């Protein structure tokens, strides 16, 4: 499955000033890692994944166009998916990225 290169570029642009970010192909898409910890990703399902942590999951789900992330029928706690409408909205996209950065920056490097 191919990921949306436009979404991947939006994520690259949002993370351009953040040190220690890398890219890795995984889960049928392109994931962005911060110090080795998964942060967000452009998936092959026309949506974007953000790792916001369980404490911020409810706040992330308040953003229009988001939903709980599931993989293989299993809920992935602390992760949300953002659809095309959320990614097209600068405020929504920035809010989700801020939540994800806030969580992942608190994790020890891998």
Each residue's pLDDT tens digit, 42-53? 986 678 999 999
Q: Is the pLDDT of residue 71 over 80?
A: yes
Q: Kindly report the length of the chain.
A: 110
Specify the number of domains making up the chain: 1
Residue 86 within a domain = yes
DSSP code at position 15: T
Residue 110 within a domain = no
The 3-state DSSP class for residue 25 equals strand
The whole domain housing 18 covers 5-104
The 3-state DSSP class for residue 59 equals helix
Phi, psi of 80 (to 5 degrees): -130, 160
Each residue's pLDDT tens digit, 86-96? 999 999 999 99
Q: Which residues, 6+ apart, have CB-to-CB distance to 8 below 8 Å?
A: 30, 42
């Amino acid at each position: 499955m191919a990921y949306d290169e436009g979404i991947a570029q939006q994520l690259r642009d949002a993370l351009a000033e953040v040190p220690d970010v890398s890219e890795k192909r995984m889960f049928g898409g392109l994931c962005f890692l911060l110090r080795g910890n998964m942060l967000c990703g452009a998936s092959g399902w026309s949506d974007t994944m953000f790792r916001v942590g369980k404490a911020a999951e409810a706040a992330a789900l308040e953003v229009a166009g988001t939903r709980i992330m599931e993989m293989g029928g299993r809920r992935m706690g602390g992760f949300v998916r953002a659809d095309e409408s959320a990614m097209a909205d600068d405020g929504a996209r920035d809010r989700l990225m801020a939540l994800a950065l806030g969580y992942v920056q608190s994790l020890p490097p891998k």
